[in-house]
A = this chain, B = another copy of it.
């Protein structure tokens, strides 16, 4: 198992040209705790990569373990094959790859929470309250068996904490069909917009309602599978909501 980069226990992610916006710089942060909190409250990211010179953005599940993110998918799917083809820890499809020096696949992984609709008196100042994290880096295939298993557990637990220990683990055939990809948290930024509308002073007297409509994710009561044995209890990790 390769070691995830040691988090500098103090200090945030280093700023780079890519993680320094040209606008709204006051909304950008590099704080690790904030980044981790945003990442841990969501489980669907949008993963971008370049194929044939063109951008591709696909939604996918992810999990965080320390300073490393994992995504997974069918080993036959095109994006996962792209990582393998680009090389990885254990080399690409040709086998016998060059290890950690392999190039991997450049990606941008973005996670966004929508927290509110911001209605200002002016159309111009309408906005969204949100928290987002953008991770730039190189995705590498995980080939170490123990890390693969730990990553798959993390992926299940990231969406439903406690579930990985309460289901049948992947067998050898399923593991062979699953590609696991790692992306280290090295070049990372968060962006947050919160609070009410920022109307210009001369617009405040205008007769339009202004304020925020709070937005959140809601979980309804779990719906049992049609073939669930009657009497199967709802697990505690779901009874508490999600």
Residues of A at under 8 Å CB distance from B? 18, 21-24, 43-44, 46-51, 53-59, 61, 73-74, 76-78, 81, 106-110, 112, 114, 117, 119-124, 126, 128, 130, 132, 134, 136, 152-153, 156, 159-160, 163-164, 166-171, 174, 177-178, 196-197, 199, 203-229, 232-235, 238, 242
A169 to B46, CA, bound (A): 33
A61 to B116, CA, bound (A): 13
| 10 A-B residue pairs with CB within 8 Å | A21-B78, A43-B128, A50-B54, A57-B108, A58-B110, A126-B160, A126-B163, A160-B213, A209-B235, A210-B228
The answer to whether A22 and B77 have CB atoms under 8 Å apart is yes
Overall SS of chain A's interface: mixed
The answer to whether B124 and A170 have CB atoms under 8 Å apart is yes
Max chain B CB contacts within 10 Å: which of A76, A167, A216, A226? Answer: A167
Q: Which residues of B contact A220 (CB under 8 A)?
A: 213-216
User: Distance in Å from the Cβ of A146 to the closest Cβ of chain B?
Assistant: 16
The answer to whether B114 and A44 have CB atoms under 8 Å apart is yes
Max chain B CB contacts within 10 Å: which of A51, A232, A233? Answer: A232
Checking B218, B225, B233 against A215 with a beta-carbon cut-off of 8 angstroms, the contacting residue is: B218
- Nearest opposing residue in chain B for A173, CB measure: B124
A223 to B24, CA, bound (A): 24
User: Distance in Å from the Cβ of A173 to the closest Cβ of chain B?
Assistant: 9
The answer to whether B219 and A59 have CB atoms under 8 Å apart is no
Q: Which residues of B contact A50 (CB under 8 A)?
A: 50, 53-55
Knowing A21-B77, A242-B117 are in contact, say whether A211-B196 is a contact too (CB < 8 A). Answer: no
Knowing A74-B23, A108-B56, A128-B61 are in contact, say whether A159-B214 is a contact too (CB < 8 A). Answer: no
Checking B59, B119, B130, B136 against A132 with a beta-carbon cut-off of 8 angstroms, the contacting residue is: B59
